[in-house]
Amino acid sequence: MSRFRCVPIPTETAARWRATGQDDFGNALRRSISPGTGAPCRHCLQNIAKGEAALLGSYRLSGPTGIYWTPSPIFLHEQECPAYTGENELAPIIRTSLVSVRAYDANQMVLYDLGQVAEGPDADAPLARALADPRTSFVNIHTAKPGCLLTRIERA
């Protein structure tokens, strides 16, 4: 597979949310205590452990821009956490849901023929297919059921 990295939300965004209590659209963040599943942090790309505080807000995606742009609800650790830095591996939060792999071209248009839904443990093959295609500029992986962004993926 092409070399790649999972790109978390910017550390500046995480810090701003924690400092202001507001998301990218001025909504008050919703605070909850993680039950141990279903709360993937988009900054460290780890699942928020049972008993840890989670913040929920609406995130302004960096891409795709234009017609295919959408905001996304995301969870974030309430406490400071390190930005994910792994390379050539899918982050832990990808492995625990049914996911939707969405590839986009350099014009920010979706490549429908490369889109695929897979169980997290089986997401490597659809990602490899998307990254092997020269039209692909970047990939977003979302939860397949609610459709929330899990992470952006770029070639390393």
Residues that bind Zn ion (CB under 5 A): 41, 43-44, 77, 81
Residue with Cβ nearer Zn ion (43 or 152): 43
**Residue 9 in tokens:** 């939300």
The Cβ of residue 66 has, within 10 Å, a number of other Cβ atoms equal to: 10
Q: How far is the CB of 69 from Zn ion (least distance, A)?
A: 24
Give the separation between CA 119 and CA 155, rounded to whole angstroms: 22
H or E segment at 125?
helix 124-132
Helix-then-strand count for the chain, H and E? 2, 8
Backbone φ and ψ for 150, nearest 5 degrees, come out as -100, -50
Residue with Cβ nearer Zn ion (40 or 64): 40
Residue with Cβ nearer Zn ion (91 or 131): 91
Contacts of 13 (CB under 8 A, 6+ apart): 24, 59
Q: How far is the CB of 14 from Zn ion (least distance, A)?
A: 8
Residue with Cβ nearer Zn ion (77 or 142): 77
Q: How far is the CB of 61 from Zn ion (least distance, A)?
A: 18
Q: How far is the CB of 45 from Zn ion (least distance, A)?
A: 7
CA end-to-end span of the chain, whole Å?
11
